[in-house]
Amino acid sequence: MDFEAVIGLEVHSELSTDTKIFCGCSTEFGGQPNTHVCPTCLGLPGALPRLNKKVVEYGIKAGLALNCSINKVCRMDRKNYFYPDCPKNYQITQDEIPVCHDGYIEIELDNGDKKKIGIERIHIEEDAGKLLHTDAGSLVDYNRAGVPLIEIVSKPDLRSPEEATKYLEKLKSILSSIEVSDCKMEQGSLRCDGNISVMPKGSLEFGVRSEIKNMNSFKALEKAFEYEYKRHVEAVKNGEELEQDTRRWDEAKGVTFAMRSKEKANDYRYFPEGDLVTLNISDEWIEEVRKSIPELPHEKAERFVKEFSIPKYDASVLTLTMDMAKFFEKVAVESKDAKAASNWLMGDISRLMNKNNMEVKDLKFNPSQLAELIKVINKGTISNNIGKKVLNSMFESGKDPKVIIEEKGLIQNNDEGEILEVVKKIMEENPKVVQDYKDGNKRVLGFFVGLVMKATKGKANPQIVNKIVNQEASKL
């Protein structure tokens, strides 16, 4: 029997407001422990929450960008639990009536088909503090307590670990493009719980699910899902009873392990948060927020394909982040060679950025400078290969390509007379190879081209070198 996975994701995303959700403390990442705190986010007796309007605005903005409906009347609820990362002993969240519901994200499958993945709800809530377990005991830092979050809960519409990764990538690119979250996974701005079960292919009845908690890397989550998929299929095939459980992923061992089963699940005793009033969201406000949503990544990608005639694949890679998309568009317009712009950005530049752990905003050169590089290559001032060297220098120094070409004397030599002299000299210096050629070995022509390029320090125009080497060889 063939099986398929059923996957649903719960994604927590930290909102990039300046201040926390219920007080004026800074949301900045890091900082000395317990310096971004006040009586409210420390949960001291008598301190009352005040809801940050920006948090609701960002919640609505995320909802609209993810095709959700907005609950114009909604409220905050208390989720009670006892753990030192939560000083009030309850988290303020939204239980029964979330700010957004019933949206979707469209992903593209490998065969090119589009698939809509439902979003059940988006609610706003506060983050907890952070525990640090040391040899000297456990420490707690409340800088993160009260940082605003949205939780985006998908419907169980995903059917494989790869689909889950596609969904997450799309979600991340949308959230960061509308600037509600920086989505920095390494700083915990985007975290994910993954739910998975298996069922016979095409079945309508879902199996018993496992939930993998607190994943902060797409790759790790995909691996964890693959592991769970096999474990579940194995169990079903062997007729074992699976029980609904909550698990953790052990990256080093490549396995998941159970934390708790459903029977031991927490009872959070939700009830309405009495210290905050019901939220009434006006149509005018929703429309205002709607207007603030910029062109979304997939819309940009479609436009790039149309306007710049670049391949769909390029367009989808270039629009993964807004910074990259904007950079590309400027270079494409200024250089009038969109495919070259795309090749440089997706190739050498991405490689250099990855190697140096950098993002587009850290680049020392600007779009106009890259456009200039493309123009000098297209004009034949330098070859594409020399262009790579120039790019490396631009990457390190941020200098103009023209300045680098001047300083390093890299201008391409297009002088046929000069190149002919070099070709002749090299043939004279290598009589054995010439004899080889006369004996019928045509491949030595490449050897000559290589020697000419070396003798001219790569500056000779390769097309001209090729032409002249062939022309001189035919006279031998």
Using CB under 6 A, list all residues that contact ligand ADP: 6-10, 153-156, 195-197, 206, 209
Q: If binding means CB under 5 A, how many residues of this protein chain bind Zn ion? A: 5
Query: Least distance to Zn ion from the beta carbon of 37, Å?
Result: 5
Report how many helices (DSSP H) and strands (DSSP E) the chain contains, helices first.
16, 16
**Among ligand ADP, Zn ion, none, what binds residue 196 when CB lies within 5 to 8 Å by partner kind?**
ligand ADP
Closest to ligand ADP by CB, 25 or 66: 66
**Among Zn ion, ligand ADP, none, what binds residue 9 when CB lies within 5 to 8 Å by partner kind?**
ligand ADP
Considering only 33, 38, 242, 402, the residue that binds Zn ion (CB under 5 A) is: 38
Q: Rule CB under 5 A: say whether 21 interacts with Zn ion.
A: no
CA–CA separation, 3 vs 199, rounded Å? Answer: 6
Token digits of residue 441: 């070995």
Query: Least distance to Zn ion from the beta carbon of 120, Å?
Result: 31
Query: Least distance to Zn ion from the beta carbon of 206, Å?
Result: 42
Closest to ligand ADP by CB, 146 or 156: 156
Kindly give, in sequence order, each residue whose CB lies less than 8 Å from that of residue 393, ignoring residues fewer than 6 positions away. Answer: 399, 404, 408
Closest to ligand ADP by CB, 141 or 245: 245
**Among ligand ADP, Zn ion, none, what binds residue 23 when CB lies within 5 to 8 Å by partner kind?**
Zn ion
**Among ligand ADP, Zn ion, none, what binds residue 41 when CB lies within 5 to 8 Å by partner kind?**
Zn ion
Intra-chain end-to-end CA distance of the chain, in Å: 71
Closest to Zn ion by CB, 89 or 435: 89
| Full DSSP string of 19-79 | B-SSSS-B--S--STT-S--TTTTT-TT------HHHHHHHHHHHHHTTPEE-SEE--EEE
Cα R_g (the chain), whole angstroms: 30
Q: Are the C-beta atoms of 63 and 82 separated by less than 8 Å? A: no
Kindly give, in sequence order, each residue whose CB lies less than 8 Å from that of residue 407, ignoring residues fewer than 6 positions away. Answer: 399
Token digits of residue 86: 């939560």
Please provide residue 91's backbone torsions phi and psi, each rounded to the nearest 5 degrees.
-105, 135
Considering only 5, 41, 224, 449, the residue that binds Zn ion (CB under 5 A) is: 41
Closest to ligand ADP by CB, 52 or 154: 154
- Please give the biggest Cα pair distance in the chain: 98
Closest to ligand ADP by CB, 5 or 382: 5
Query: Least distance to ligand ADP from the beta carbon of 137, Å?
Result: 32
- Site residues, Zn ion (CB under 5 A): 23, 25, 38, 40-41
